[in-house]
Amino acid sequence: MKRTEIASLGEFGLIDHLTKNIELKNASSEKGVGDDAAVLSYANKKTLVTTDLLLEGIHFDLMYVPLKHLGYKSAVVNFSDVYAMNGQPKQVTVSLGISKRFSVEDLELFYDGLALACHEYGVDLVGGDTSASLTGLAISITCLGEGEEGKIAYRNGAKETDLVCVSGDLGAAFMGLQLLEREKAVYDGKDDFQPDFTGKEYLLERQLKPEARKDIVRFLAEEGIVPTSMIDISDGLSSELKHICKQSGVGCHIYEERIPIDYQTAMMAEQFNMNVTTVAMNGGEDYELLFTVPLYLHDKVSKIKGVHVIGHITKEGNGLVLETRDGTEIELKAQGWDSIGEE
């Protein structure tokens, strides 16, 4: 395979090479790559801004994460944050810290994934930066989006008796990670090693190529529903519930039997001797939407494909409660992903 050293292009030549085919699609993107700053115009909309820092060895392992998938996922996790505000992502900037072991072709793969995500979600790449790195690959992505006055969903609006809803299913991304880590451990440098992923494709897809739930945001808008609070599930359902309840000054009551779990997730958890509810509650990286709506919208929200009502909001003094399948009530503990917490 051809390998072009990054030094042969230089910083500005590299940026030009990676961004030469970018076309702007959004009216709010007046000027993109090529000047000292992008020029954006949102007219009467509110501007939403989110950013993520992804570090090799902390957030991803290039032993089993293809660079194209990494580019796609890096963009999508930022889009998800904007959808979680009931907004629409419109622009991204990407900055990379690159060590000498990467070639121009490697970065082309990363940008291919990034460009695919931007195409799928209608987002413009409008700028960024590159730098040498002594510690592997570092990725910083900032996403800008737009929201309508009165329709932006925050974390602090949940009210007593509101319904607690989630999209999709939970725990699959975490089990995909466990599967990849297991196969990596078995591999251990063997030349003839072939990983066994048969029947587990969904788990791998959820870990390596997650999707943001723009469809759910669209369905909510079509039904005229503005969530009283919303957050995306990046660090685990328990952790996200804690965020909403803390910022809204409320408690919640969640029913174990209503937590949506895919069959492959349940089977994989059994193989690993893990409690599947614990996996679903604390796994993280699902990038599904957790949101609350008033009780009177029960029939409307229940009709939305992919949405599950898993509980309701209570008084703050009631705490965060999970009711198990046998009717036992236990306090919810947030044990989700924390990249700077203690081991």
Would you say 262 and 172 are in contact if contact means Cβ atoms under 8 Å apart?
yes
Per-residue model confidence as pLDDT tens digits over 248-269: 999 999 999 999 999 999 999 9
Predicted pLDDT at 34: 67
pLDDT, position 342: 47
d(CA 100, CA 118): 27
Helices (H), the chain: 10-19, 67-83, 104-121, 172-187, 201-208, 214-222, 237-248, 263-271, 276-282, 298-302
Q: What is the pLDDT of residue 128?
A: 86
Which CATH number does 6-147 carry?
3.30.1330.10
Q: Which residues of 269-282 are buried (b: 16+ CB within 10 A; e: fewer)?
A: beeeebebbbbbbb
Amino acid type, 88:
Q
pLDDT at 308: 98
The dihedrals phi and psi of 87, each to the nearest 5 degrees, come to: -115, -175
pLDDT of 124: 95
Q: What is the pLDDT of residue 340?
A: 45
pLDDT in tens, 292-307: 999 999 999 999 999 9
* pLDDT given for residue 27 in this prediction: 80
Q: What per-residue confidence (pLDDT) applies to 293?
A: 98
Tokens at 244, concatenated: 């909403």
Interval 7-28: pLDDT, tens: 777 666 776 766 777 788 888 7
Please classify residue 123 by burial: count the beta carbons closer than 10 Å to its beta carbon, then call 0-12 exposed, 13-18 middle and 19+ buried.
buried
CA-to-CA distance for 145 and 46, rounded, in angstroms?
8
Instruction: Tell me the domain boundaries of the chain.
Output: 6-147, 163-331
pLDDT score recorded for residue 170: 98
Which of 313, 311, 331, 312 lies closest to 321 in space, CA to CA? 331
- The structural architecture, per CATH, of the domain 163-331 is Alpha-Beta Complex (3.90)
Separation between Cα atoms, residue 37 and residue 17, nearest integer Å? 18
Side-chain-side CA neighbours of 311 within 13 Å: the count stands at 27
- CA geometry: angle 137, 141, 145, nearest 5 deg: 170
At 341 the pLDDT is: 53
Residue-by-residue pLDDT tens, the chain, 343 positions: 677 786 777 666 776 766 777 788 888 777 766 666 778 788 889 999 999 999 999 999 999 999 999 999 999 999 999 999 999 999 999 999 999 899 999 999 999 999 999 999 999 999 888 888 888 899 999 999 999 999 999 999 999 999 999 999 999 999 999 999 998 888 766 666 677 788 899 999 999 999 999 999 999 999 999 999 999 999 999 999 999 999 999 999 999 999 999 999 999 999 999 999 999 999 999 999 999 999 999 999 999 999 999 999 999 999 999 999 999 999 987 665 454 454 4
Q: Residue 275 in contact with residue 269, Cβ under 8 Å?
A: yes
Write b or e for each residue in 305-330: b if 16 or more Cβ atoms lie within 10 A of its Cβ, otherwise e.
Answer: eebbebbbbbeeeeebbbbeeeeeee
